[in-house]
Amino acid sequence: MIVTVFRSRLKDEGRADYFDLAPQMGALAQTMPGYRSHKVFTAEDGERVVIVEFDDEASQHDWSVNPLHVDAKKQGRANFYAEYSVQVCEVRRESRFKAGGS
C-alpha cells in the first residue's frame, strides 16, 4: 500500500477557491483504480493534513498525473496554498486493533 501525506496551509484569500475544489478532487480520487481511502484533518494552528491510500505505486502515480489533478495542483500553487509538503510512503508493516472485535 502507498500512503500520501499532504500537509498544507491556506492563504486567507484562497480559502473559498480551495473549499470549492477540494471536494471535487476527493470525489475524483475515489474513481481512480487502486484508490483505498482519504481523510482530511485540520490542526488547531490551521495546518491541514490529507492522508490518501492507494493499493500500489502505479495507482498513486496515475492519480498524481491525472490531468484534472495536475490542473488542481497548479491552481493550488497559484491561488490558495501558502505552503505545502508531500510525502509518498510505502507501508512496510501494518497492524490493527478494534475493541470488541474478533
- Report which of 38, 59, 45 is spatially closest to residue 8, judged by C-alpha positions: 45
Cα-Cα end-to-end distance for the chain: 23
Q: Tell me the mean pLDDT in the region 6-32.
A: 94
Number of domains, the chain: 1
Q: Is residue 98 part of a domain?
A: no
Indicate the pTM of the whole model. Answer: 0.88
In a domain? residue 69: yes
Q: What CATH number does residue 72 fall under?
A: 3.30.70.100
Q: Which domain holds residue 49?
A: 2-90
Among candidate residues 86, 83, 70, the one with its CA nearest the CA of residue 14: 83
pLDDT in tens, 49-102: 999 999 999 999 999 999 999 999 999 999 999 999 999 999 999 999 999 866
